[in-house]
Amino acid sequence: MAVGVLAFQGSFNEHIAALRRIGVKGVEIRKPEQLGDIAALIIPGGESTTMAKLAEYHNMFPALREFVKMGKPVWGTCAGLIFLANKVFGQKTDGQELVGGLDCTVHRNFFGSQIQSFEAEISVPHVADKEGGPPGFRGVFIRAPAILEVGSEVEILAEVPVPDKLKTSEVIKESQKVYPESLNKVIVAVKQGNLLGTAFHPELTADNRWHLYFIKMVNDQIEETETATSSGIIKAGDIYGLQDPKIELPIYLP
């Protein structure tokens, strides 16, 4: 089966290219009825308010919520993480509509504006155990959110220290009043059942391990609901493993 990528705005092409690199078909999703033809969905990074307005215009939110409730795997990156969160901190009253399902509180634009975007080496032991390769991952944070709090059923996959230059910002001071830990470090990747969320952009690197990790979530979900394991399962085996743990290919921005 194919994996859908919500394709209203943002880095959906980059996700489809990353899926192609590991031998998985990616499909652009813009209409509710298309969700019936895919095994899983990626909600990409982009401008979350614009994405939400377009999704609302196309009446996607009811279908997206139902897709999550059905137990289908969904991965939100950056703006997609905001979509999946049950609660968004710092949002204006009657702010953007959410899909929900992921028991966490996300602060949108926690790391600042577009010009404060950055890259950081992230420790990802759980993903490295599953997919091999180095214990670190090169995270690309573009006007990125951060996860301030998670529920008891949410597994934390990665955290990062807050850069010193941001600790004096009003955004972080505001969140620190409610979430004191957010001054020093924040969560940037989580998993809860069929849902995966990352505050950074794995699709903008040549390291395929997060996409492989998600495809294995898809495999697990299919195996739970189907007895046949030959024709309907996406294979994400050793042939997709990293050839060289030192990835030095350039990162590009959309």
Active-site pick, 78, 107, 131, 211:
78
User: What's the Cα-to-Cα distance from 98 to each of 43, 94, 101, 102, 110, rounded to whole Å?
Assistant: 12, 11, 9, 11, 18
Cα–Cα distance measured from residue 152 to residue 24, given in angstroms and rounded to the nearest whole number: 32
Cα–Cα distance measured from residue 225 to residue 213, given in angstroms and rounded to the nearest whole number: 19
For residue 223, indicate whether it is catalytic: no
Beta strands, E only, the chain: 2-6, 26-29, 38-43, 74-77, 85-89, 102-107, 118-123, 136-141, 146-150, 155-161, 185-192, 195-198
For residue 58, indicate whether it is catalytic: no
For residue 248, indicate whether it is catalytic: no
Q: At what angle do helices 48-57 and 61-69 cross, to 10 degrees?
A: 100
Reference 187, options 155, 211, 142, 220; nearest CA is: 155
What string of DSSP letters covers 25-43? Answer: -EEEE-SGGGGGGEEEEEE
Active-site pick, 14, 131, 149, 201:
201
List beta partners, residue 12: none
The number of angstroms, rounded, from the C-alpha of 147 to the middle of its chain's C-alpha atoms is: 12
Active-site pick, 104, 149, 203, 211:
203
Catalytic residues: 78, 201, 203
